[in-house]
A = this chain, B = another copy of it.
Amino acid sequence: MHFEETAAFLLAKATTSHRNSLQKFTSSVGLHSGQVFVMIELWKTDGQRQIDLAAHLNLSPPTVNKILGGLLENDFVTRARYEDDARSTRIFLTEKGVQVRESLEQAWEELEEQTLASLTDTEALMLKQLLQKLFQ
């Protein structure tokens, strides 16, 4: 069997390589790669509970908790009690957290460009559609 030619193999290899690129670009705006996705989710809907963030991000609650620790330390978000349920906390963007979006969008455009550099526009579109279909 030629593992190297399977989609499972290629996808796994793509993981590592893409994470390295991602890390480079996000660090230029002061964020770690994992933190970015939490921020994107909060920009969509601010004030979510951790459990909801985890569900929306397709990540485990401990992973979200750990990532939030870093974001809290660096003042990108704050925690607040959930009024109706003492078990939960709600996560809110700080001013800094709101403002970093613009820098990230710029970095993201460069990342996207670099990611797709080896593909034609048609291929890029196909890739996006296929990825969406794979893990919707």
Interface positions of A (Cβ within 8 A of B): 1, 3-19, 21-22, 33, 37, 40, 58-59, 105, 108-109, 111-112, 115-116, 118-119, 123-124, 126-128, 130-136
Contacts and interface: CB of A to CB of B under 8 A. Distances in A.
How many copies of this kind of chain does the complex include?
Answer: 2
Nearest to A114: B8
Given A15-B15, A16-B58, A58-B16, A7 B131 contact: yes
Given A8-B18, A15-B19, 12 more contacts: A4-B40, A7-B128, A10-B132, A11-B15, A11-B18, A12-B33, A15-B18, A115-B134, A118-B133, A123-B133, A126-B130, A127-B134
Contacts of A131: 7, 10-11, 14
B7 A40 contact: no
Contact of A6 (B4, B6, B108, B136): B108
